[in-house]
């Protein structure tokens, strides 16, 4: 074979090799695009969306319970993992490819409030509550009028306003605290300061979570009051004689409201209604009875402001309250 023929044959072989490589490249590109389209995570706003997109019928039945709702902020957003790229890795167009994650992101899916059938407050119970609501109004108003004129102890000399209570018997839930503070003394309404705002958020969180299905919870549908109806100077602790003189008003209110569940907020309310002394930690988590009502004990909202670690136990106590409310 001459040199010319040899060069021609080599050129033909080279063209064949280039064409074969081109076909392999084309197949590789198609596979890459198909793989990217089917498997690559969706990216929006610079973050990888890790929400579960598996069809509902193919997902497993087990779930992980979500944490208790915050009393001061909305639900946490779904977790995302930032997308990572490497300039050394590119596709056939020269565009950077997402780097393979070192570990798969862990996603905890929020579970439904309960996997058991929802228990709703029965219609007969609602009718009874409406009757109690109607009968309680004049009794609560009469007690408030007497509290307004009360001069049984020295607190009448330092108060700005008496603070009988607020709300109604509609839900059958009563929150009992210790005594009014400066904001309550100025406005004549219990739990309107910082601690009161937290209590309002607690009640709203109970409503948002539908802890008591069939019963709307708000400051208007529950009743909120204190052991003392006047503010102690400088927010000091109630004195024994003040509790003795003022507690009959609270008992009259509870008799009129006929609550299903009483929630004692703090030490003074718990010790008065339980008739024993102790710490909140030793008294909470149990169900007591008081004049036909169920009763639980939890931390005062003011204590939660001083120690945010108390918020989770308080939420657990609200769940206990709801369970006892719905049970016979």
Residues 145-172: pLDDT tens digits?
999 999 999 999 999 999 999 999 999 9
Task: Report d(CA 177, CA 190) in Å as an integer.
Answer: 9
Q: Among candidates 125, 140, 209, 204, which has minimal Cα distance to 172? A: 125
Edge to edge, the sheet with strand 47-48 lists 43-44, 47-48, 81-82
When pLDDT is cut at 50, 70 and 90, the band that residue 14 belongs to is low
Could you read off the pLDDT of 208-234 as tens digits, one per residue?
Answer: 999 999 999 999 999 999 999 999 999
From the options 3.40.470.10, 3.40.50.10860, 3.50.50.60, 3.40.50.300, give the CATH code of 124-326.
3.40.470.10
pLDDT at residue 142 is higher than 80: yes
The DSSP string of 273-321 is HHSS---HHHHTT--EEETTEEEEEE--HHHHHH-GGGHHHHHHHHHHH
When pLDDT is cut at 50, 70 and 90, the band that residue 71 belongs to is very low
Task: Report d(CA 201, CA 142) in Å as an integer.
Answer: 30
pLDDT for res 224:
98
Top pLDDT among 16 and 55 is at: 16
Please answer whether residues 206 and 322 qualify as being in contact, where contact means their C-beta atoms are separated by less than 8 angstroms: yes
pLDDT for res 63:
33
Calculate the CA dihedral of residues 14, 15, 21, 25 and round it to 10 degrees.
Answer: 150
Cα-based angle 155, 157, 160 (whole degrees, multiple of 5): 85
When pLDDT is cut at 50, 70 and 90, the band that residue 64 belongs to is very low
Please answer whether residues 160 and 186 qualify as being in contact, where contact means their C-beta atoms are separated by less than 8 angstroms: yes
Cα-based angle 94, 34, 43 (whole degrees, multiple of 5): 70
Could you read off the pLDDT of 253-283 as tens digits, one per residue?
Answer: 999 999 999 999 999 999 999 999 999 999 9
Task: Report d(CA 20, CA 17) in Å as an integer.
Answer: 5
- pTM as predicted: 0.66
pLDDT for res 17:
59
Could you read off the pLDDT of 123-135 as tens digits, one per residue?
Answer: 778 899 999 999 9
pLDDT for res 1:
60
């Amino acid at each position: 074979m001459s040199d010319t023929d040899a060069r021609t044959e080599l050129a033909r072989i080279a063209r064949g090799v280039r064409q074969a490589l081109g076909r392999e490249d084309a197949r590789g590109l198609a596979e890459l695009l198909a793989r990217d389209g089917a498997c690559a995570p969706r990216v929006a706003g610079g973050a990888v969306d890790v929400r579960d997109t598996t069809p509902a019928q193919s997902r497993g039945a087990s779930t992980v319970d979500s944490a208790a709702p915050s009393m001061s902020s909305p639900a946490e957003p779904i977790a995302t993992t930032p997308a990572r790229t490497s300039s050394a890795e590119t596709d056939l167009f020269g565009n950077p490819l997402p780097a393979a994650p070192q570990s798969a992101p862990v996603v905890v899916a929020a579970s439904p409030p309960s996997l058991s059938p929802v228990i709703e407050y029965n219609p007969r119970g609602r009718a009874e509550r409406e009757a109690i609501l109607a009968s309680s109004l004049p009794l609560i108003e009469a007690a408030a009028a007497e509290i307004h004129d009360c001069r049984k102890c020295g607190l009448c000399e330092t108060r700005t306003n008496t603070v009988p209570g607020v709300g109604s018997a509609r839900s059958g839930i009563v929150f009992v605290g210790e005594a009014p503070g400066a904001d309550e003394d100025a406005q004549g309404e219990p739990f309107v300061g910082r601690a009161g705002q937290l209590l309002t958020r607690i009640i709203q969180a109970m409503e948002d979570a539908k802890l008591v299905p069939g019963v709307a919870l708000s400051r208007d549908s529950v009743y909120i009051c204190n052991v003392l109806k006047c503010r102690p100077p400088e927010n000091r602790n109630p004195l024994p004689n003040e509790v003795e003189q003022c507690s009959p008003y609270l008992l009259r209110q509870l008799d009129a409201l006929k609550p299903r569940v009483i929630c004692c907020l703090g030490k003074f309310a718990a010790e008065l209604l339980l008739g024993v002394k102790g710490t909140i930690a030793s008294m909470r988590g149990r169900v007591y009875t008081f004049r036909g009502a169920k009763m639980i004990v939890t931390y005062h909202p003011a204590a939660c402001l001083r120690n945010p670690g108390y918020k989770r136990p308080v939420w657990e106590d609200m769940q206990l309250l709801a369970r006892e409310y719905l049970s016979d």
